[in-house]
């Protein structure tokens, strides 16, 4: 079993019996080897999906490297040692919060494709969901998208789905695989079950969401990871390896600060770090002294301290300690969000 297949199986084991879900992309013949996994869950269940998968992962010897949420998409970065040398591999799992665009309005299409999964199996539902998501967000189909859809359902089945759900797509749109801007926005509104009378309120939600997530990178409060102890080379190696895991999985790079001592630092420095946490950014602080803390850490309930032994060079145990700390905090955060 490949690494991606193992991650997919872990997701299935965590979610089976909890609610309907659909593993869309990531481990099939059209997926990139190092790409992420895409999973559709019912509206308002994406944070629960993060928690269930995170708990299952930690039980099975995996670790959580990061979590995030942008309203319509919740994400978790899972990592695991894959060979005797102790090297970790990482995969990002994306949970779509229903099938409507940006998770605004109702979710008739999410219910429709999950019903198709129950009645006709996953393949057809995967093809239809892939078609919708690629047109809703990108406005066009790439060759790989067309191939994935073609093995799942033909044009007649797609047209039947379009008609049954009142979607503004013509046969010409489907043949071309590319939508005009006007048609794409009409499709987005239809995906949320919006009628003409509700259009002004929906547009206001769209504007607010765009403004909100231009500032806030995640609805999950960011963390301040304070790495101290040992020497500068060892701390730098640990931070670089952690960054590389996130980068390879598709998570954004972390902000890194180097501080010799937090005492006496300017008020603006502390405020900046606290602000980054509020907008969902994770900040890695490279501290020279174990008790120095970090700017903003006293204001931030999500400050995590990783103290390395003073002697010795970098080992994989350092990354183990960091990931164990992050995993514990991630599960604690998700449990609090579900209460």
Q: Which element (helix H / strand E) includes 226?
A: strand 224-229
Q: How far, in Å, CA of 181 to CA of 140, rounded?
A: 11
Tokens 């949420």 correspond to: 69
Question: Is the distance from CB of 39 to CB of 21 less than 8 angstroms?
Answer: yes
Closest CA to 144 of 31, 26, 24, 22: 31
Region 27-50: mean pLDDT is 85
Cβ atoms of residues 28 and 130 within 8 Å:
no
Q: Cα–Cα distances in Å, from 85 out to 6, 65, 88, 329?
A: 19, 20, 9, 27
pLDDT in tens, 286-304: 875 544 444 444 444 467 8
Residue closest to 193 by CA, chosen among 313, 309, 112? 112
Task: Read off the pLDDT of residues 215-233 as tens digits, 9 standing for 90 and up.
Answer: 888 989 888 888 888 888 8
**Could you give the strand order of the β-sheet that contains 37-41, starting from the edge strand earlier in sequence?**
22-25, 37-41, 88-97, 73-81, 63-69
Alpha-carbon gap, residue 124 to 311, rounded angstroms: 57
Tokens at 148, concatenated: 């994935």
Q: What is the pLDDT of residues 188-225, one digit of tens each?
A: 999 998 888 889 999 999 999 999 888 888 989 888 88
pLDDT tier, 44 (very low <50, low <70, confident <90, very high otherwise) = very high
For residue 114, the 8-state DSSP code is H
The average pLDDT across 260-267 equals 51
CA 138, distance to chain mean position in Å, is 18
User: DSSP secondary-structure letter at 136?
Assistant: I
- Under DSSP, the state recorded for 336 is H
Strand order of the sheet with strand 303-308?
Answer: 255-259, 283-287, 224-229, 303-308
Q: What angle do CA 38, 44, 48 make, to 5 degrees?
A: 70
List, for residues 66-94, the tens digit of each pLDDT value.
999 999 999 999 999 887 667 889 999 99
From the list 80, 77, 57, 54, the residue with the least C-alpha distance to 67 is 77
* Residue 215: per-residue pLDDT: 87
pLDDT at residue 276, rounded to an integer: 80
Residue 94 pairs with which residues in a beta bridge?
Answer: 38, 75
Confirm if 207 and 285 have CB atoms less than 8 A apart. no
Q: What are phi and psi of 220, to 5 degrees?
A: -85, 125
User: What's the pLDDT score for residue 120?
Assistant: 81
| Range in 7-11, 13-17, 192-196 the model is least confident about | 192-196
Decide the pairing of beta strands 88-97 and 22-25.
unpaired
For the chain, give the mean pLDDT.
Answer: 86
- The CA distances from residue 82 to 4, 61, 126, 237, 327, in Å, are 12, 11, 29, 20, 18
Average of per-residue pLDDT across 2-15: 93
Taking the C-alpha atoms of residue 198 and residue 204, their distance in angstroms, rounded to an integer, is: 10
| Mean pLDDT of the region 262-283 | 69
Nearest to 44 by CA among 94, 93, 97: 97
Is the pLDDT confidence value at 61 over 60? yes
pLDDT at 39: 96
The predicted-structure confidence for 301-318, as pLDDT tens digits, reads as follows 467 888 888 777 777 788
Lowest mean pLDDT among 143-152, 232-241, 305-314, 315-324: 305-314
**What are the angstrom distances between the C-alpha of 177 and each of 132, 171, 184, 267?**
11, 10, 12, 53
Q: Lowest mean pLDDT: which of 6-10, 177-181, 273-277?
A: 273-277
SS3 category, 158: helix
What does the pLDDT read at residue 299? 42
- Asked whether residue 31 carries a pLDDT value surpassing 80, the answer given is no
Instruction: Compute the average pLDDT of residues 236-241.
Output: 90
Largest separation between any pair of C-alpha atoms in the chain: 69
């Amino acid at each position: 079993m490949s690494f991606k297949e193992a991650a997919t199986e872990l997701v299935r084991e965590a979610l089976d019996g909890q609610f309907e879900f659909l593993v869309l992309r990531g481990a099939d013949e059209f997926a990139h080897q190092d790409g992420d996994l895409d999973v559709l869950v019912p509206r308002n269940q994406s944070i629960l999906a993060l928690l269930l998968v995170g708990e299952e992962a930690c039980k099975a010897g995996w670790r959580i490297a990061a979590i995030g949420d942008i309203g319509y998409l919740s994400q978790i970065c899972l990592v695991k040692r894959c060979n005797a040398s102790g090297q970790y591999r990482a995969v990002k799992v994306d949970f779509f919060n229903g099938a409507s665009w940006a998770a605004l309005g109702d979710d008739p299409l999410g219910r429709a494709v999950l019903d198709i999964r129950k009645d006709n199996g996953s393949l057809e539902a995967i093809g239809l969901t892939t078609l919708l998501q690629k047109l809703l967000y990108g406005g066009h189909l790439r060759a790989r998208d067309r191939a994935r859809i073609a093995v799942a359902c033909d044009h007649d089945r797609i047209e039947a789905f379009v008609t049954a759900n009142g979607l503004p797509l013509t046969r010409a749109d489907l043949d071309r695989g590319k939508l005009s801007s006007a048609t794409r926005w009409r499709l987005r509104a239809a995906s949320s079950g919006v009628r003409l009378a509700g259009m002004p309120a929906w547009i206001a939600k769209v504007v607010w969401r765009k403004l909100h997530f231009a500032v806030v990178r995640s609805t999950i409060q960011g963390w301040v990871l304070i790495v101290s102890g040992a020497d500068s080379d060892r701390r730098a190696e640990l931070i670089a390896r952690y960054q590389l895991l996130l980068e390879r999985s598709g998570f954004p790079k972390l902000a890194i600060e180097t501080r010799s001592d937090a005492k006496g630092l300017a008020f603006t420095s502390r405020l900046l770090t606290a602000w980054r946490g509020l907008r969902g950014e994770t900040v890695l602080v490279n501290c020279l002294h174990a008790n120095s803390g970090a700017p903003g850490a006293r204001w931030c309930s999500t400050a995590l301290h990783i103290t390395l032994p003073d002697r010795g060079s970098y080992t994989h145990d350092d990354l183990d300690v960091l990931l164990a700390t992050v995993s514990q905090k991630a599960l604690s955060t998700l449990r609090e969000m579900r209460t």
